[in-house]
Structure 1
Amino acid sequence: MKNATFGKIERAFERLIHHRRWVVLTVALLTAVMGYLATHVEVKTIFSDLLPKNHPYVAVNQKFKSTFGGSNMVSIMVETDNGDIFDTKVLQKVQKLTVGLQQVDSVDTYQIVSIASKKIKEVRASTEGVESRPIMWPNLPQTPGEMAVLKEAVLNNPLIYGPYVSMDLKATLITADFLDGEINYSKAFDQIMGLVKEASGDGVKVRVVGEPVLYGWVNFYLDETLKIFFAAIASLVLILMLITRTWHGTLLPLLAGVVSAIWALGAARLMGFHLDPLVIVVAFLITAQAISNSVQLISRYDDEIAAGATSSAAAALASVKNLFKPSMLAIVADAGCVLVVALTPIPMLEKISYIGTVWIFSILVSALLLTPVMLSYFKPKQSYVHPLNIRPLLDAVLRLCAKIVTTRWRYGVLGTALVVFFVSGWYAFNLKVGDANPGSPILWPDSSYNRDATDINRQFQGSDRMFVVVAGKEKGALREPEVLKSMSDFQRYMEAQPEVGGSISLADVLPQVRRVLREGNPMYAELGNDANENGELTYMFVSGSDPGDMDRYADADAKNGAVTLFFRDHQGETIRTAIARVQDYVAQNAMEKADYLLAGGLVGVLAAVNEVILAGQIEAIALALLVLVVCCTVTYRSTVAGVFFMIPVMLSNTITFSYMAWHGIGMNINTLPVVALGIGLGVDYTFYIVDGIREELHHSDNVEAAIIKALSSAGRGVLITALTLITSVGLWSFSSLRLQADMGLLIALWLFISAFSALFIMPAIVYVFRPAFIVGSKQRPIERASSAVVV
């Protein structure tokens, strides 16, 4: 017996199919409008969107980034193959790069530092006094004598020799910071790479790293990303055509995916959002959901036609009536799992969550509504597109599934699944939050960017920076010996961590000035004895300098300063260790006149992101599971149903997390949306199988026959969708962006686990444990169909 709700739904679809022309016209007009809006959606990366809101580290970075250097620092290494850098040809290239960087869009011209800039100075004492002057500005050394003087000055200055000139004298470093809110990564990347290309050659190699360069590479590969996206769609169409052998089985799933994508991107434009190129794989995954729902409807439609449906309209109505509940449950569960990602206080994740939720709900129109309406236009009996018939092979696979599930082999399946669950769950604890490998996980290890990062970290203290602010409680606090001594001790303490290549602060500068006053005697390279002496040393260092030259170390009032730490990588474990060490030192070495504030620079904001992701990962998974349990409990009016449908989700998550840990994929801002969406994806196919079993039990109380029938009908849609999507998603492995290739593999893995669970594990559980919400009970018997459905 049909209940009142489903009777109303059936009548609604009857009217929609009856007025199909108006439905198609309305959807077409709305799609055209949304398509126009979608063409105006920007595909770009905005760094500020990657930063957590209301996090203390980000607040410190935002407050002090213009002084101590932000998270968009670019490092350029100029290295010579022969001799050392003290060669006119090499120094000319350094000078040209330094001057050229001033013309790059959104660069902070006060934060360009190299031996050819005014920022790097030396302090000299003479009979006329003490003076501070640029070490090599504005003119290059013109004679061998001048070159020798420059070389000696570098070797005698620890603020230059090591941090800006390599220990073997074969390389020098240029750093530049960019304005976070104004930078256009693509434009800055093109300009920087133009300078690098011009400076390279003649025995000189130029390496460049930094967030603007990294995201510039991402945008550089955008054309390739779009080509892979459309190639994946094209392969999907070809595979559907191969399997279904019909135009409606090929084109209608594609139509569902396209309409869904257009509506979602149009909605993104209305919400004022842009699309990050790094999450285009997420877009493909949601498109796959639309295709999956459409394939299920078409598969059921074909069954209805084969069973002798009187017309295409009748078959379309029967298919949507029978699959409405599992389709709605899958859509609502998926949307809920994506929506919880918005609770992670990172703007990019919030935007992805909102766009993804709209995208999934658009499947209601693109697949659940449009597919049956369009099916009603096709003739019941159609000729096949090609002669190759692989249907017998699919049926053989489904018969094998049924045989395994309904014989003793089912215990082997359940036992194996249980072992895999515990083993993968144990190994999943090795999953790292944050980047899991040196270099950028966005690009392949052998990419030019990661090779450049390796070379720069080999020659210098580290290309990734974090500054810890020393906030004085009153003006002049940084001149106090207690504060300076604490800063110096803090630097030595942090440098004991192997990944920290070095550090710099005002506590390094003042001893060098004092040494100069004592004719260069290393014995006097110490801090002043009191605040007044330290103030005099500071004055001598900045005398004759330009405004802002001291900003890297302290503000004008000597109230706030920074200890800048240089890191050789920004792996999650490296950052967590560094933050823990900072907190440990601060807890044990409190100062009366100043406090330490965490933390700015790239490593500082990544620490904030990792902390939010760690909490957000647990929260997102827990809430997504809660959404799933609530949806299933309400739909089937059984708490057992909520627990039952968690089984494939838990299995897919433990296997996926263990795969990520084994393959070196960290849980970061780019992988979290895929993981949350995977919770919904891990159970969608099971909805169709379970509903197929329940439907068959309306006609017979034979559970075994019901399972076999469900596998042969709903199972075919599962198998077709899984084969199609797993094969097409494999094209992402050819991406030049490692992140996209890894995400493609994760999607393929989720699809496989979801399909395997739906075809083997869950039917076996139904056969063995006979859950009441599926097979019925004395208290809640399954309603019997009084007669065959007449449409």
Structure 2
Amino acid sequence: MFSEKESSAPEMAVIKDLKDFDRYSGNWLERLVFNNRLWMVLACALLTVFFALQIPKLQVSASFEKSLPTSHPYIVNYQENRSALRGLGDSVRVVVENTEGDIFNAAYLDSLAKINDEIVLLPGVDRSWLKSIWTPVVRWTEYTEEGFVGGPVMPQNYNGSPETIQALKLNINRAGVVGSLVANDFKSSMIVVPLMSRDAEGRPADYHALSKSLEDIRSRYESAGKPGSPKLKVHVVGYAKLVGDLIDGLQKVMTFFVASAVIAAFIIFMFTRCVRSTLTVLACSIIAVTWQLGLLVTMGFALDPFSALVPFLIFAIGVSHGAQKMNGIMQDVGRGTHTLVAARYTFRRLFIAGVTALLADAVGFAVLMLIDIPAIRDLALAASMGVAVLIFTNLLLLPVMLSFTGVSRKAALRSLRDEEEQESGKGLGAVWRLLDRFTERRWATAAVLVSLGLAVGGYIVALNLQTGDLDPGAPELRPEARYNLDDAYISANYGLSSEVFAVMVKTPPDDCRKFDTLVEIDRLAFALSQVPGVQKTASLADTVRNYTSGGFEGNPKWLTISGNQGLIDPQISNALAWNSEFITDACALTPVVAYLSDHKADTLNRVMAAAEKFAAEHSTPDRQFLLAAGNAGIQAITNIVVKKANVSMLIYVYAAVIVLCAIAFRSWRAVLVAVLPLMLTSILAEALMVMLGIGVKVATLPVIALGVGIGVDYSLYLLSVQMALMRKGESLSDAYRHAVQFTGKVVALVGVTLGAGVVTWAWSPIRFQADMGILLTFMFIVNMIGSLILVPALSYFLFKEPRAKDRQAVPAAAGDAVAGSGRRGAGAPSAVAR
């Protein structure tokens, strides 16, 4: 973009009067931006107004489809056969509890009927397969002397009388729904609500609207105390309800944005003691967030619970990079340079280094688009758009705005005085001198050995890092969240959990009735039932076995799959007549369902391994065992994709960062110095996840990539100046000391500002946001400390001390003093090492 001649500025002289400054100096972009300042500010103001008007249209939503790794062959199997699976995909379970008695109460049953009817009419509900003791698809069967009889669990003549209630009690026992639709203690009953992925008009299901409707039902029917009304408690679980709770939580999290802005403003003000420049930096960062959100609306995208925190990151990154520009201008103004000239000087010093740093940030986001999960790709897209906006607002708009607002003269002079004190070893100077000790053999060796020890120890701990959920319930929410309390109640009172793993058995039409097929189905069900964590299995083989026995007066000797096809066919016909969930009209697909005790990673891995082994050994061209369906099956597949993506993602992000550093520094040694601290932080972050009980999943997968992409900024700032000074002949000790004086405070400021921008998430009502806040804060701070210590320590072993005859003039390009001019700012060397 820039020629060496354009970017060269051997001595940036102190210019007090604009008459003494050549407004046509600098590269073409600098001239375009600063010679048309008013037009640029006006254009940005109009864009800001336009995008701000779009924000009210922004929707926060989520889709079950977007959480699926869509191209994985197991998910392809599920999608191709979804219409025949009858409720084995996305569903919600609503449990209505009578807190003052059991369900055999006319008032309770009347309330349950009303709740059932309201839920049936909710948009997005697959009404054909909704189940409760009030729906006709839930039936009982019995073997009598006359043969096989049955009917709906709810008596057709039910009128609330003791006789019909007693008949209902009998039917519930005969139907075998205790533990599934009726609690073991008979104090509650369940409504299973299968959901459609799209409504009648083809639009994705609105989970937030559904969640609010369920909350409305809950609040109305829990308002007990009316005469004659039972005291009810409604428990709701399911992916749609979880998403609704997450979106509700996000609305509360928005208050943390204000907290982040206040904390960032305080930190920057304490650094600069200049109100107007602090407000200018904050304004540009807020403009960046406004543009990002406005662009999302304009391009037809929405935020979901996993990408809604991206604006926080963009704001924090914007503030931290803005501090670099502000510091440079402050140093030049302190020497007496005109504000406009100081802004142009800062632009010359920082543009290329700033672009490189932001590109590294963008890489951390962009690699997430390689992961085959639409929710993560949406996050990557939103973040990439935010970084693209930052390149404009922070690298172009901010210097222009600071050229108008300037900085406080008093604050600028104070900054110079502080720098002189630090040069003499006072204040932060003592810290800089301590850090300078790491350029000595003994200290450098100790730092490298300690880091190596931390890396080995962290790696050993990180070997225990698991993929998926490690806790029962919904780990995305706090343990005390209503959703998790509801889930705990259901787990404690129902014999069968809501965690369902299903294998699809696909045959040619009408072949599911064959004896060989039924035997293989039965074998699969038996194999799954032997896996620890499987509570029960159910399949078409069980249906045929029970119907066969019923045809012979319930004789247990006939509780089998007969080898006589003539005995099997009538039972298949009965299953079709009774609308069994294990058979389709074409008799070409039947699921084998395993009910799991939980959805922990270990449980899912065991069941998936058993199902894969059976499918590999027993599938034939005419009989395929296809994985997988059910909410637990889909989660198991997602865990597989996430585990694979975690490795490939780190490879891609480090490869990209290495390429960027190689372009910036033109030295393999510098690449090692920049990247090794990042690797140490990544290892320690994974060890921290193990210690905090955080698994790798869709919500946490992006964190490490983001930490790497953003964390490289610190080494970039320090190495840029250090290597340029060494090229001019300074020793490693002098070069690092001057580099850390120029950039040390700002590197620390960046780390603290980024950490402060996300640490507030730790108090979020949404646990996965709290986990992300803790991990990102850890990575930002450790990256900062690691860079300040390991850059000089690694430089000692990798860089040779320059000799006098090797000194050369280096043009002051990208990064002259990346964090600002400093004492040597007027003539600081280039950040680009050759």
The normalised TM-score by structure 2 is 0.87
Q: Residue 178 of structure 2 is aligned with which of 151, 161, 168?
A: 161
Preserved CA contact (<8 Å) 2:93 2:191: yes
User: Match of 2:57, SS?
Assistant: coil
Preserved CA contact (<8 Å) 1:189 1:216: yes
* Residue of structure 2 in register with 1:599 after alignment: 628
- The alignment status of 1:462 with 2:497, answered yes or no, reads yes
Q: Residue 291 of structure 1 is aligned with which of 312, 316, 319?
A: 319
Q: How does 1:539-688 map to 2 (within 5 A)?
A: 539-543=573-577, 545=578, 549-550=579-580, 552-590=581-619, 594-688=623-717
Give 2:353's aligned amino acid. Answer: P
* Residue of structure 2 in register with 1:90 after alignment: 108
Offset, 1:38: 4.1
Alpha-carbon distance in 1 for matches of 2:277, 2:714: 18
- The alignment status of 1:233 with 2:261, answered yes or no, reads yes
- The alignment status of 1:197 with 2:244, answered yes or no, reads no
Offset, 1:699: 5.3
Distance change >3 Å, CA 518–CA 345, structure 1 → 2: same
Distance change >3 Å, CA 343–CA 541, structure 1 → 2: closer
Give 2:4's aligned amino acid. Answer: N
Alpha-carbon distance in 2 for matches of 1:782, 1:578: 66
* Residue of structure 1 in register with 2:57 after alignment: 40
Q: Residue 186 of structure 1 is aligned with which of 208, 221, 240?
A: 208
Alpha-carbon distance in 2 for matches of 1:518, 1:191: 48
Alpha-carbon distance in 1 for matches of 2:729, 2:287: 39
Distance change >3 Å, CA 30–CA 512, structure 1 → 2: same
Preserved CA contact (<8 Å) 1:299 1:716: no
Offset, 1:698: 5.6
User: Match of 2:696, SS?
Assistant: coil
Distance change >3 Å, CA 5–CA 521, structure 1 → 2: farther
Percent sequence identity is 24
User: Match of 1:377, SS?
Assistant: helix
Give 2:213's aligned amino acid. Answer: Q
Preserved CA contact (<8 Å) 1:327 1:368: yes
Preserved CA contact (<8 Å) 1:506 1:553: yes
User: Match of 1:760, SS?
Assistant: helix
- The alignment status of 1:377 with 2:404, answered yes or no, reads yes
Offset, 1:369: 1.2
Alpha-carbon distance in 1 for matches of 2:608, 2:811: 65
Q: How does 1:213-224 map to 2 (within 5 A)?
A: 213-224=241-252
Distance change >3 Å, CA 680–CA 48, structure 1 → 2: same
Cα deviation, 1:386-415, whole Å, max 9, x if unaligned, reads x99999897256435435434544433332
User: Match of 2:652, SS?
Assistant: helix
* Residue of structure 2 in register with 1:783 after alignment: 809
Preserved CA contact (<8 Å) 2:313 2:757: no
User: Match of 1:76, SS?
Assistant: strand
Alpha-carbon distance in 1 for matches of 2:612, 2:604: 12
* Residue of structure 1 in register with 2:227 after alignment: none
Offset, 1:83: 5.3
Offset, 1:720: 1.8
* Residue of structure 2 in register with 1:494 after alignment: 528
Give 2:527's aligned amino acid. Answer: Y
Offset, 1:26: 2.3
Preserved CA contact (<8 Å) 2:548 2:567: no
User: Match of 1:75, SS?
Assistant: strand
Alpha-carbon distance in 2 for matches of 1:327, 1:168: 65
Alpha-carbon distance in 2 for matches of 1:256, 1:644: 32
Cα deviation, 1:188-229, whole Å, max 9, x if unaligned, reads 111122223344453543321101110010122232021222
User: Match of 2:307, SS?
Assistant: helix
User: Match of 1:564, SS?
Assistant: strand
Structure 1 gap segments, 5+ residues each: none
Alpha-carbon distance in 1 for matches of 2:142, 2:436: 88
Cα deviation, 1:500-520, whole Å, max 9, x if unaligned, reads 222222222233333333333
Cα deviation, 1:319-349, whole Å, max 9, x if unaligned, reads 2322233212111222123212112222222
Offset, 1:539: 2.7
Cα deviation, 1:142-195, whole Å, max 9, x if unaligned, reads 44444344333333444x233323344344322111111332111111112222
Give 2:119's aligned amino acid. Answer: L
* Residue of structure 1 in register with 2:432 after alignment: 399
User: Match of 1:345, SS?
Assistant: coil
Alpha-carbon distance in 2 for matches of 1:512, 1:102: 30
Give 1:90's aligned amino acid. Answer: Y
Offset, 1:588: 3.4
Give 1:339's aligned amino acid. Answer: A
User: Match of 1:727, SS?
Assistant: helix
Alpha-carbon distance in 2 for matches of 1:452, 1:325: 54
Offset, 1:599: 0.8
- The alignment status of 1:748 with 2:777, answered yes or no, reads yes
User: Match of 2:744, SS?
Assistant: helix
* Residue of structure 1 in register with 2:507 after alignment: 472
Give 1:708's aligned amino acid. Answer: R
Preserved CA contact (<8 Å) 2:143 2:554: no
Q: Residue 421 of structure 1 is aligned with which of 455, 458, 472?
A: 455
* Residue of structure 2 in register with 1:314 after alignment: 341
Alpha-carbon distance in 2 for matches of 1:141, 1:527: 40
* Residue of structure 2 in register with 1:441 after alignment: 475
Indicate the larger mover: 342-351 or 88-97.
88-97
* Residue of structure 1 in register with 2:76 after alignment: 59
Offset, 1:477: 1.9
Give 2:287's aligned amino acid. Answer: V
Distance change >3 Å, CA 102–CA 374, structure 1 → 2: same
Offset, 1:788: 8.9
- The alignment status of 1:362 with 2:389, answered yes or no, reads yes
Offset, 1:734: 1.5
Give 2:693's aligned amino acid. Answer: G
Preserved CA contact (<8 Å) 2:360 2:712: no
Give 1:464's aligned amino acid. Answer: E
Q: Residue 716 of structure 1 is aligned with which of 745, 758, 762?
A: 745
Preserved CA contact (<8 Å) 1:311 1:380: no
Distance change >3 Å, CA 198–CA 214, structure 1 → 2: same
Alpha-carbon distance in 2 for matches of 1:189, 1:148: 35
- The alignment status of 1:324 with 2:351, answered yes or no, reads yes
The normalised TM-score by structure 1 is 0.91
- What is the total number of aligned residue pairs between the two structures? 779
Alpha-carbon distance in 2 for matches of 1:646, 1:789: 30
Preserved CA contact (<8 Å) 1:495 1:503: yes
User: Match of 1:561, SS?
Assistant: strand
Distance change >3 Å, CA 542–CA 123, structure 1 → 2: farther
Alpha-carbon distance in 2 for matches of 1:302, 1:479: 82
* Residue of structure 2 in register with 1:411 after alignment: 445
Alpha-carbon distance in 2 for matches of 1:638, 1:280: 38
User: Match of 1:468, SS?
Assistant: strand
* Structure 1 residue ranges (4+ consecutive) displaced by more than 6 angstroms after TM superposition: 126-129, 387-394, 777-780, 785-788
Preserved CA contact (<8 Å) 1:44 1:277: yes
Alpha-carbon distance in 1 for matches of 2:430, 2:566: 85
Alpha-carbon distance in 1 for matches of 2:596, 2:807: 66
Preserved CA contact (<8 Å) 1:466 1:565: yes
Preserved CA contact (<8 Å) 1:398 1:715: no
Offset, 1:444: 0.9
* Residue of structure 1 in register with 2:48 after alignment: 31
Root mean square deviation, CA, Å: 3.0
User: Match of 1:764, SS?
Assistant: helix
Q: Residue 343 of structure 1 is aligned with which of 352, 365, 370?
A: 370
Offset, 1:714: 0.7
Give 1:163's aligned amino acid. Answer: S
Alpha-carbon distance in 1 for matches of 2:694, 2:805: 49
* Residue of structure 1 in register with 2:15 after alignment: none
User: Match of 1:341, SS?
Assistant: helix
Distance change >3 Å, CA 790–CA 397, structure 1 → 2: closer
Distance change >3 Å, CA 349–CA 729, structure 1 → 2: closer
Preserved CA contact (<8 Å) 1:253 1:292: no
Preserved CA contact (<8 Å) 1:684 1:754: no
Give 1:503's aligned amino acid. Answer: T
Alpha-carbon distance in 2 for matches of 1:788, 1:403: 20
